Amino acid sequence: MTRANPSAPLYLVGYSTRAMAASARSAGYAPLSLDAFGDRDRGPGWTVPDFASRPEGLAQVLRTLMSLDPGIVVWGSPFENYPEALKQLAARHTLWGSSPAAVANVRNWSLLTRFAALHGVKVPVTVRGGRVPRNGSWLIKPVRSGGGHHILFAEHERAIPDGCVAQEYIVGHPVSYTFLADGVRVLGGFWTQSWAPGPDFRYRGGVLDLRGPIPGARAGQALAQHLVQAFGLRGWCGLDFVAAENALYVLEVNPRWTGSVELWDVAANASAFGATVEAMAGCPNPLPSLSTAAGKRIVRAPQDCRWRDPCPRIPGGQIHDLPWPGQPFESGQPVCTLIVSAPRPEDVRTRLDAWEEEVLAWLRAQDGRQTSRERRDVPRAMNSWFPR
């Protein structure tokens, strides 16, 4: 059982920590964040733009965390791919969430495949080493995967690159089961349907649907319970699937705070971070009922552009991951996140579609060039949250 000093510093670390930080503040905490974006609505912390994109970025993050006063660390992506880094952090800080050993186990594809088959859940055929099979449709995926990045359709009989696998492409709908665990049992969870990925498979967000479980949901939820019991998963976790022909194919386990968790905050009108604290302390309260559908959409730059204030308003919704005025973006880079709620998931989709088009049209009208003042002020603003 993890019982941390309530006066200890709280550090949040991940590729993007804005949602986690907002949930922590709503639960009465004052976190310090370390991420790659340094968005205006993230809160105090440090910004490492190379985080998750270059090895030296992760090394810089670790050096920063190891230099801080001992405290509590809640981690997000991409640390599920680096259990050895979690071990290093655990030598100085108290980790809230799954242990490094649990992370290494559930991110081991061979072990997960056997475990899923043992409990009656299908898995795509996956090949590591050699060449892509000559029959069927296949994907090339990194072993250290996350957010759909660097996933490509594979040509038959091409060599499988080092650090990657060839995985059978399952035609279906991407869905996720996000759940809270205390190391012994699943305390509660919810299903989200992800937006159909674009040609590059990057995560675009999804919608939390209250209308009932999807086909095969019972098997997916049972798999979550078995994983918690077998490996001691703790905190918020996610299981990614493809739903096809009334069955689920498991793709991966994310033993950490996922991009869907903030939809629970909206739908439950509560703090997912507060629920994490209770689970880690071994005294969880019943999770509140979800009262509305909610969805999010990550908006990517339609071209080279820059962010300008004032930005478009979305009635009944919110724009998060706010860039700094004058901040430049290359085509395809994530710019901001739209979040809305509505009684029906189809209303969520309709509103997000319309508001995304409005934001994209606004971004297309923005000149991608920066003034000399913006080149000076934007980096300064991104690091203005740096604790003194």
pLDDT of residue 199: 63
Tell me which of 5-9, 77-81, 300-304 is least confident: 5-9
Tell me which of 53-62, 106-115, 252-261, 376-385 is least confident: 376-385
Domains detected in the chain: 10-96 (3.40.50.20), 125-169 (no CATH), 172-280 (3.30.470.20), 295-338+350-376 (no CATH)
As a whole number, the mean pLDDT across the chain is 89
Quick one: which H or E segment has residue 338? strand 334-342
Tell me which of 87-91, 98-102, 240-244 is least confident: 240-244
pLDDT of residue 215: 78
**Distance from chain centroid for Cα 80:** 11
Quick one: 228 exposed, middle or buried, by C-beta within 10 A (0-12, 13-18, 19+)? buried
pLDDT of residue 116: 93
Question: Contact at 8 Å (CB) between 301 and 330?
Answer: yes
pLDDT of residue 69: 96
Q: Per-residue pLDDT averaged across 364-373, rounded?
A: 73
Give 86-98 pLDDT, tens digit per residue: 999 999 999 999 9
In sequence order, the 6+-apart residues with CB closer than 8 A to the CB of 99 are 86, 232, 234
pLDDT of residue 284: 82
Q: What are phi and psi of 191, to 5 degrees?
A: -105, 140
Tell me which of 44-58, 175-189, 239-253, 336-350 is least confident: 44-58
Confidence tier at 370 by pLDDT (50, 70, 90): low
Confidence tier at 377 by pLDDT (50, 70, 90): low
Q: Per-residue pLDDT averaged across 355-380, rounded?
A: 78
Give 186-214 pLDDT, tens digit per residue: 999 999 998 766 667 888 899 997 766 67
Q: Per-residue pLDDT averaged across 179-185, rounded?
A: 95
Residue 160 has pLDDT above 60, yes or no: yes
C-alpha 240/C-alpha 109 separation (Å) is: 13
Confidence tier at 4 by pLDDT (50, 70, 90): very low
Candidates 186, 146, 131; CA nearest to 36 is 146
pLDDT of residue 1: 33
Tell me which of 24-28, 224-228, 371-375 is least confident: 371-375
Q: Per-residue pLDDT averaged across 298-311, rounded?
A: 91
Q: What are phi and psi of 347, to 5 degrees?
A: -70, -35
Q: Per-residue pLDDT averaged across 6-25, rounded?
A: 93
C-alpha 266/C-alpha 22 separation (Å) is: 12
Beta strands 45-47 and 126-127, pairing class: unpaired
Residue 378 has pLDDT above 50, yes or no: yes
Confidence tier at 294 by pLDDT (50, 70, 90): very high
Confidence tier at 388 by pLDDT (50, 70, 90): very low
Residue 271 has pLDDT above 80, yes or no: yes
Strand-pairing partners, residue 345, are none
pLDDT of residue 2: 41
Confidence tier at 375 by pLDDT (50, 70, 90): low
pLDDT of residue 387: 54
